Amino acid sequence: MARFIAGRIVAMIGVILVLVLLLLVLQRYTPADPVRAKLGANARAELVAAERERLGYNDPLPVQYFNYVKGLATGDMQDSLRTRRPVAQDLGAYLPATAELALFALGLAIVIGGALGIASAARWRGSGVLRVVLVGGSSAPVFLLVLLGLLFFYRRLGWLPATGRTGIRDAPEGPTDFLVLDGLLALRFDVVGDAFKHLLLPGLCLAIGPAVAIGRTLRGSIIDTMGTDFVRTARSLGAPERTVMRRHALRNGIGPALSMTGLQVGLMFAGVVVVESIVAWPGIGLYTVQSIPRLDFPAIAGVTLVLGVLYVVVNTIVDIAQTVADPRLRG
């Protein structure tokens, strides 16, 4: 098991290094000039040339790659051309909000997808209606779901807030920067309730698509497992159907659903950028949207790298979880 985990970690590092190389290649061959965007369209050519030299944009690609990787090892992701602050500092300020939203959405997707898969496979009453509703929701683009949610739950019913992370001005600002957790630690249950209200709409819109994919995969896997010999044996011995489902079908059929969960994380991160820009969520999605018009490549590269690392880490965790659930995969 230790060798398997070590192999996955080495592969994860390799993927991250390749991602860094691709980012630098895109930076080098993009037609836009981030230095001129930083200094202004009317900046003198000699000033632009001097700034390009200072930032290292004139160095050969291998030198840029080596310097960037060396900086990453010490936490240096260069300075933002827009905010004039270190990108790592900016990401440290914006990332907790995105992480809280993404984790909330992922938790919703797992819960809803698991319920959909189990209910559909067991043919529980009402599972068909649930499937139709979720499939219909997943067929719409995430930005459209957010807009419809705002029109219905905020404008028409007034149940949920429209924008932002909280409406409480004196909300705690630490120690974790996860607003729900900080509210619990400070015993500010008003903050916890308000934070959940702000999370619910964007989190649900992000979760619907992945939930359907996870649920469909889980349903197919459970149905296949329910037809195996060991399940028939358990039933013939008089085991209750719920026990058969929990101990045999679900446990042996969860592997494909775990793989699908890891794949859906990437789509969820892509949706976060769109959702945050619509609801003004103060996360790295909004940070990216603000950086793109200014051609702030260090900021864009930093966000892309962080999201790529998170995606690879999540899939590595999924691989390990699959191996724990099914030791045959270790080979």
Identify whether 13 is part of a domain.
no
Query: Residue range 230-246: average pLDDT?
Result: 68
pLDDT digits (tens, 9 = 90+) for 12-31: 788 888 888 888 887 777 76
DSSP letter string, 196-225: HHHHHHHHHHHHHHHHHHHHHHHHHHHHHH
For residue 264, what are the domain limits? 97-283
Instruction: Name which of 97-111, 249-263, 290-304 the model is least confident about.
Output: 249-263
Written as six digits, the tokens of 282 are 């103060």
Question: How much is the mean pLDDT over the chain?
Answer: 80
DSSP letter string, 137-186: HHTS-HHHHHHHHIIIIIIIS--S--SSS-S-TT----SSS-HHHHHHHT
Identify whether 156 is part of a domain.
yes
H or E, element range at 258: helix 251-279
Query: Residue range 45-61: average pLDDT?
Result: 80
- Is pLDDT of 331 > 60? no
pLDDT computed for residue 239 by the predictor? 67
User: Pick the residue with more confidence: 123 or 84?
Assistant: 84
**Cβ neighbours of residue 245 closer than 8 Å, sequence gap 6 or more:** 118, 121, 122, 222
Q: Which of 325, 310, 137 is nearest to 221 (CA)?
A: 325
- Is pLDDT of 2 > 80? no
Contact of 160 with 200, CB cutoff 8 Å: yes
Identify whether 24 is part of a domain.
no
pLDDT computed for residue 202 by the predictor? 92
Identify whether 188 is part of a domain.
yes
- DSSP letter at 79 equals B
Query: Residue range 207-234: average pLDDT?
Result: 78
Written as six digits, the tokens of 312 are 């690879």
Residue 1 — pLDDT band, cuts 50, 70, 90? low
Residue 127 — pLDDT band, cuts 50, 70, 90? low
Q: Which of 211, 255, 246 is nearest to 107 (CA)?
A: 211
Instruction: Name which of 60-64, 218-222, 246-250 the model is least confident about.
Output: 246-250
Query: Residue range 174-181: average pLDDT?
Result: 86
Residue 199 — pLDDT band, cuts 50, 70, 90? very high
Identify whether 193 is part of a domain.
yes
DSSP letter string, 84-131: -SBHHHHHHHHHHHHHHHHHHHHHHHHHHHHHHHHHHHHT-TTHHHHH
pLDDT computed for residue 246 by the predictor? 64
- Is pLDDT of 205 > 80? yes
Identify whether 165 is part of a domain.
yes
H or E, element range at 255: helix 251-279
- Is pLDDT of 319 > 80? no
pLDDT digits (tens, 9 = 90+) for 35-45: 776 777 677 77
User: Pick the residue with more confidence: 201 or 273?
Assistant: 201
- Is pLDDT of 329 > 60? no
pLDDT computed for residue 214 by the predictor? 85
Contact of 244 with 315, CB cutoff 8 Å: no
Instruction: Name which of 25-39, 63-77, 153-167, 303-317 the model is least confident about.
Output: 25-39
pLDDT digits (tens, 9 = 90+) for 269-289: 778 888 888 888 888 888 888
Out of 53-57, 62-66, 170-174, the most confident range is 62-66
pLDDT computed for residue 244 by the predictor? 67
Out of 120-134, 155-169, 215-229, 304-318, the most confident range is 155-169
What is the domain-level CATH number for residue 169?
A: 1.10.3720.10
Identify whether 102 is part of a domain.
yes
- Is pLDDT of 126 > 80? no
User: How many domains in the chain?
Assistant: 1
Percent of the chain with pLDDT over 70: 85
Q: Which of 214, 41, 234 is nearest to 112 (CA)?
A: 214
Angle at 264 between CA 252 and CA 152, to 5 degrees: 115
Identify whether 151 is part of a domain.
yes
